[in-house]
């Protein structure tokens, strides 16, 4: 059996790390399937994933071929069976939407041709620019049922509980993404009618709209809102679509189970990275949180394309994982269903070539934060087959990428090892060598967390002509999450803090803990109340950004400011001839004067000043409230580990890890098991080797010995592991494997001379450079 419990994936009772690669059987000639799967096995993967595209299996007459009668590559079961023969598990991704650079995102042309009513209009009744549909349109669900009637009988007998290799099924793909990226809500007549019911349920007769739901003019009031109700509409529509997406995914799950597919995790793919930037990622969490959060049998997986592994993108990735975990229940593990792999040269024009270490560094960070499944996308490229029916769109193939697909993948379209194959394989083998411990470990956290204000990411819909909607969205986008310039998250990471996140709309922070929150003018009453309650009862908050004075619908809400005795004033921004800078006071001293993009002047009734501009205008205060304190930094403060370390130190919070190194780019975290085994995860994103000393909870590791961490490398160092019947207290090198006789193999050591120090029960064994095996006693 396969189950998700205690944030682990357990297969037949054993906690496992599932390492998967995406191979599209429909883009590879059947005679070559084995060669692609062999390369996957050679790289160390234990699982293969694939989309199962409806558009590929539906024939022009409307029939569905999933057994290879019309084309050998359409025999889905044969591909799954071949994977099983090679010792691989299988993750099925049957849609109905699959994206994958396919025409119509994988939906057959016939659906749009035969059912025009499922195609939405957007703002002002204009046609949407994407090939999305109203997910709950009856005609679309009937067509989905026809597709599931064909494909689910292929999957059902091959499920893992039945002795087969299928360990999970993904429901649809990137639900809501098309509407977000095009700012085109699915405003079909049926949806607008259902939205009206939601408005009456939420507001009753006190709704803010000039036209009542169901009356003539209601659809126009929604599609072309007036400013009087634009703020309320933006909020209502976002909340409604969360519910609608949840109903859609629940419907797909029910359709699967009715056709015999169940007893394995159902996955939901979370989209949200944009142009190599991870800051918008929680938009996907916001849209889909109700499809999986706290629902047994449901698991979310990240879908991220961040480009090169840099300090900036690794900060994004750390926050993305923390935010995903914040909305999970105690059993739901972190997974990544589309983990970017390859060179980045997606256009086959040599425009991009990531450093090959990129996939390794990202993998290591995700595993350190508790990811239990990584699916490398795309692992193997292929050839886009022609459509069965000509559509005269310039290439008449199933994809818009042309004939070749996956030119950036570790395995190229013709099956050749690509630029990133070796690095990807080394990363996978490193994970599998440490799986016995990693699969049971969770990240250790200090007494500080990022506040996840999920409603601040409900910015996917705003009428382009509405000043009210635009103002709210711009404010939320600028200040939410990790704060402007990602200052909160990056400063914590570089300062040695190991942190998670707390979902502030739905959960109270841990009693007495410290929460870091990026804020703008618009923060809901619920979150403002929760922050006030947390501080009053003995917790602390650090607020970075503008002082909130509005609820999310635009109505005044100064509950937090009033409780703190703060009045927000003028916002002064930099211009071509004005350069606001910050001066530290109190616990922040000494701190060099630092340029800021903007400052907000504050008037405060009590507390200590910690930041002013150079003319003395206050923009940072430390305010007592009840049993706790709030530090308010109302300025565009850059990432600065010293400033935030001092802020947290003043609140009694210290990082569990202290790294002494020359420059930014090196960071670390630790993971541990319930029985006290632990590992130190050390990552150097910089392009040069770094000397590092590490202290944990105030005690230098290995007596303060200096480690030399090579450029762009990651390391999982034992810090109290049970290995081959022995307690491995410390090793300055990563375990590369353990022989049946108990011999432990290490990667290259990080000692200054290139050797490895191993501490067993207080006794140190020094392995010289080139000697990487600790023999069994």
Q: How far is CA 17 from the centre of its chain?
A: 18
Last residue of a domain, one of 443, 461, 482: 443
Question: Does the structure show a pLDDT above 70 at 752?
Answer: yes
Q: 411, 443, 475 — which closes off a domain?
A: 443
Distance between CA atoms of residues 606 and 468, nearest Å: 34
Q: Report whether 456 contacts 476 (CB < 8 A).
A: yes
User: Has residue 12 got a pLDDT over 70?
Assistant: yes
Are 270 and 288 in contact, with CB atoms under 8 Å apart?
A: yes
265 touches 192 (CB < 8 A): no
Q: Identify whether residues 678 and 556 lie together within a single domain.
A: no
For residues 290 and 175, is the Cβ–Cβ distance under 8 A? no
pLDDT of residue 703: 78
Which pLDDT score, from 0 to 100, does residue 777 have? 66
Q: Give the domain-ending residue among 443, 459, 485.
A: 443
Q: How far is CA 580 from CA 355, 482, 571, 616, in A?
A: 37, 22, 11, 12
Q: Is residue 460 part of a domain?
A: yes
Mean pLDDT within 78-91? 98
- Neighbour count for residue 419 (Cβ, 10 Å): 18
Q: What is the pLDDT of residues 154-178, one digit of tens each?
A: 999 999 999 999 999 999 999 999 9
Confidence band of 317 (pLDDT split at 50, 70, 90)? very high
pLDDT band, very low/low/confident/very high, at 663 (cuts 50, 70, 90): confident
The answer to whether 687 touches 711, Cβ cutoff 8 Å, is yes
480 in any annotated domain: yes
- The span from the CA of 164 to the CA of 155, in Å, is 9
The C-alpha angle 247, 249, 253, rounded to 5 degrees, equals 115
> Kindly report the CA angle at 150 between 144 and 152, in degrees rounded to 5?
85
Q: Is residue 242 part of a domain?
A: no
**Predicted pLDDT at 776:** 74
pLDDT digits (tens, 9 = 90+) for 468-524: 999 999 999 999 999 899 999 999 999 999 999 999 999 999 999 999 999 999 999
Residues 536 and 559 in one domain: yes
For the segment 726-731, the average pLDDT, to the nearest whole number, is 93
With a cut of 90, say whether residue 644 has pLDDT above it.
Answer: yes
| Dist CA 115 CA 17 (whole Å) | 43
Task: Evaluate whether 202 touches 239 at the Cβ level (below 8 Å).
Answer: yes
Query: pTM for this one?
Result: 0.97
- What tokens appear for 97 in the block? 């939407």
| pLDDT over 70, % of the chain | 100
Per-residue pLDDT, averaged over 441-470, amounts to 97
Q: Which residues are registered as beta bridge partners of 568?
A: 602
Residues 630, 598 within the same domain: yes
> Is a pLDDT exceeding 70 seen at residue 23?
yes
Mean pLDDT of 292-314: 96
My answer on whether 376 and 457 are in the same domain is: no
**In this structure, are 706 and 603 located in the same domain?**
no
- Assigned token pair, 526: 């619920």
Residue 691 vs residues 293, 431, 569, 583, 751: alpha-carbon distances, Å: 42, 24, 46, 32, 10
One domain for residues 322 and 437: yes
410 with 549, same domain: the answer is no
Both 381 and 491 in one domain: the answer is no
End-to-end CA distance of the chain: 37
Question: Domain range spanning residue 603?
Answer: 448-650
What proportions of the chain, in percent to the nearest 5, are helix, strand and coil?
A: 35, 25, 40
**In the chain, % of residues over pLDDT 90:** 94
DSSP 26: G
8-state DSSP, 333: P
Per-residue pLDDT, 183: 94
Domain of 558, CATH number, reads: 3.40.50.880
Q: Is the dihedral of CA 361, 363, 366, 370 positive or negative?
A: negative
Cα 107 to chain centroid distance, Å, stands at 26
Cβ-proximal residues to 127 (8 Å cutoff; 6+ apart), any chain: 119, 121
Shared domain for 643 and 726, answered yes or no, is no
| Total domains, the chain | 3
β-pairing, 371-380 vs 334-340, is parallel
CA dist 511 and 534 (Å) reads 7
Rounded Cα–Cα distance for residues 285 and 268 (Å) = 10
How high is the pLDDT of residue 261? Answer: 98
pLDDT averaged over every residue in the chain: 96
Pairs from 618-622 (Cβ < 8 Å, separation ≥ 24): 619/582, 620/582, 620/585, 620/588, 621/566, 622/586, 622/587, 622/650
> Looking at the structure, do residues 643 and 697 belong to the same domain, yes or no?
no
- Both 284 and 145 in a single domain? yes
Kindly tell me if the per-residue pLDDT of 122 is higher than 90: yes
pLDDT at site 662: 82
Q: Quick one: tokens of 649?
A: 């130190």
> Using the 8-state DSSP alphabet, how is residue 161 labeled?
G
Classify residue 257: in a domain, yes or no: no
Question: Over the stretch 250-273, which tens digit does the pLDDT of each residue have?
Answer: 999 999 999 999 999 999 999 999
CB burial of 620-645 (b: ≥16 within 10 Å; e: otherwise) equals bbbbebeebbbbbbbbbbbbbbebbb
Average pLDDT over residues 326-349: 95
Does residue 473 share a domain with residue 426? no
Residue 136: pLDDT band with limits 50, 70, 90:
very high
Whole-number CA gyration radius for the chain: 27
pLDDT tens digits for range 405-445: 999 999 999 999 999 999 999 999 999 999 999 999 999 99
Q: What is the CATH number of the domain that holds 163?
A: 3.20.20.80
How many C-beta neighbours within 10 Å does residue 765 have? 12
In a domain, 107, yes or no: yes
Give the pLDDT band (50/70/90) at residue 6.
very high
For residue 195, what are the CA distances in angstroms to 198, 222, 240, 289, 470?
Answer: 5, 9, 7, 19, 22
The pair of structure tokens assigned to 524 is 């809901």
Structural domain includes residue 470: yes
Q: Is residue 238 part of a domain?
A: no
State the burial class of residue 185 (Cβ atoms within 10 Å of its Cβ: 0-12, 13-18, 19+): buried
Residue 608 lies in a domain: yes
């Amino acid at each position: 059996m396969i189950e998700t419990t205690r944030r682990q994936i357990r297969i037949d009772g054993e906690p496992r790390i599932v390492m998967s690669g995406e191979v599209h059987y429909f883009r590879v000639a059947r005679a070559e399937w084995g060669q692609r799967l062999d390369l996957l096995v050679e790289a160390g993967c234990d699982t293969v994933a694939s989309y199962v595209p409806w558009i590929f299996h539906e024939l022009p007459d409307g029939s569905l071929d999933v057994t290879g009668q019309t084309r050998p590559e359409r025999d889905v079961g044969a591909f799954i069976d071949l994977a099983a023969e090679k010792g691989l598990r299988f993750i099925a991704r049957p849609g109905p939407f699959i994206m994958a650079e396919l025409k119509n995102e994988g939906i057959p042309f016939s659906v749009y041709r035969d059912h025009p009513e499922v195609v939405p209009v957007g703002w002002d009744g204009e046609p949407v620019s994407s090939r999305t549909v109203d997910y709950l349109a009856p005609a679309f669900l009937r067509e989905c049922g026809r597709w599931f009637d064909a494909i689910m009988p292929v999957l059902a007998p091959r499920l893992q509980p039945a002795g087969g290799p299928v360990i999970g099924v993904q429901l649809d793909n990137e639900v809501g993404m098309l509407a977000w990226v095009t700012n085109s809500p699915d405003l079909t007549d049926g949806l607008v009618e259902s939205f009206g019911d939601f408005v009456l349920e939420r507001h009753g007769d006190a709704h803010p709209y000039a036209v009542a739901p169901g009356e003539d003019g209601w659809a126009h009031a929604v599609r072309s809102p007036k400013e009087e109700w634009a703020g309320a509409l933006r909020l209502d529509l976002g909340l409604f679509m969360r519910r609608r997406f949840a109903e859609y995914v629940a419907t797909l799950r029910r359709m699967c189970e009715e056709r015999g597919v169940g007893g394995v995790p159902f996955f939901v793919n979370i989209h949200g990275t944009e142009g190599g930037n991870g800051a918008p990622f929680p938009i996907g969490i916001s849209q889909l949180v109700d499809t999986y959060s706290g629902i047994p049998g449901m698991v979310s997986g990240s879908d991220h394309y961040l480009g090169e592994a840099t300090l900036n993108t690794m900060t994004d990735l750390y926050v993305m994982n923390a935010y995903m975990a914040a909305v999970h229940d105690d059993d739901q593990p972190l997974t990544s269903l589309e983990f970017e792999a390859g060179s980045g040269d997606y256009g086959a024009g040599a425009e991009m070539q990531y450093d090959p270490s990129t996939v390794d560094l990202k993998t290591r960070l995700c595993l350190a934060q508790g990811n239990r499944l990584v699916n490398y996308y795309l692992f193997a490229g292929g050839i886009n087959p022609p459509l069965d029916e000509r559509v005269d769109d310039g290439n008449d193939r199933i994809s818009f990428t042309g004939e070749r697909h996956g030119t950036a993948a570790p395995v190229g379209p013709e099956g050749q090892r690509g630029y990133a194959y070796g690095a990807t394989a080394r990363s996978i083998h490193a994970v599998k060598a440490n799986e016995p411990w990693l699969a049971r470990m969770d990240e250790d956290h200090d007494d500080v967390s990022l506040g996840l204000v999920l409603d601040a990411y409900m910015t996917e819909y705003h009428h382009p002509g509405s000043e009210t909607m635009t103002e709210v969205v711009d404010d939320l986008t600028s200040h939410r999450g990790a704060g402007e310039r990602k200052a909160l998250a990056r400063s914590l990471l570089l300062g040695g803090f190991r942190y998670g996140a707390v979902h502030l709309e739905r959960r109270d922070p841990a009693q007495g803990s410290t929460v870091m929150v990026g804020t703008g003018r618009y923060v809901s009453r619920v979150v403002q109340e929760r922050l006030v309650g947390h501080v009053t009862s003995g917790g602390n908050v650090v607020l970075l950004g503008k002082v909130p004075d509005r609820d999310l619908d635009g109505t005044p809400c100064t509950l937090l400011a009033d409780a703190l005795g703060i009045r927000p004033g003028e916002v002064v921004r930099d211009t071509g001839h004005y350069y606001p800078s910050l001066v530290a006071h109190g616990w922040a001293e000494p701190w060099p004067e630092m340029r800021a993009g903007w400052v907000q002047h504050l008037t405060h009734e009590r507390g200590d000043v910690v930041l002013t501009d150079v003319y003395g205008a206050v923009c940072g205060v430390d305010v007592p409230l009840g049993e706790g304190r709030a530090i308010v930094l109302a300025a565009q403060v850059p990432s600065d580990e010293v400033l935030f370390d001092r802020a947290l130190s003043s609140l009694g919070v210290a990082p569990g890890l202290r790294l002494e190194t020359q420059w930014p780019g090196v960071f670390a975290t630790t993971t541990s098991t319930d029985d006290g085994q632990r590992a130190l995860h050390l990552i150097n994103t910089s392009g040069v080797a770094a000397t590092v000393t590490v202290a944990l909870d105030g005690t230098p590791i290995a007596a303060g010995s200096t480690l030399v961490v090579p450029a762009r490398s990651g390391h999982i160092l034992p810090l109290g592991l049970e290995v081959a019947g022995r307690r491995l207290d410390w090793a300055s090198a990563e375990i590369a494997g353990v022989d049946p006789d108990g011999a432990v193999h290490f990667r290259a050591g990080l000692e200054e001379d290139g050797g490895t120090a191993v501490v067993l029960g207080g006794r140190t064994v020094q392995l010289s450079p080139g000697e990487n095996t600790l023999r069994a006693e």
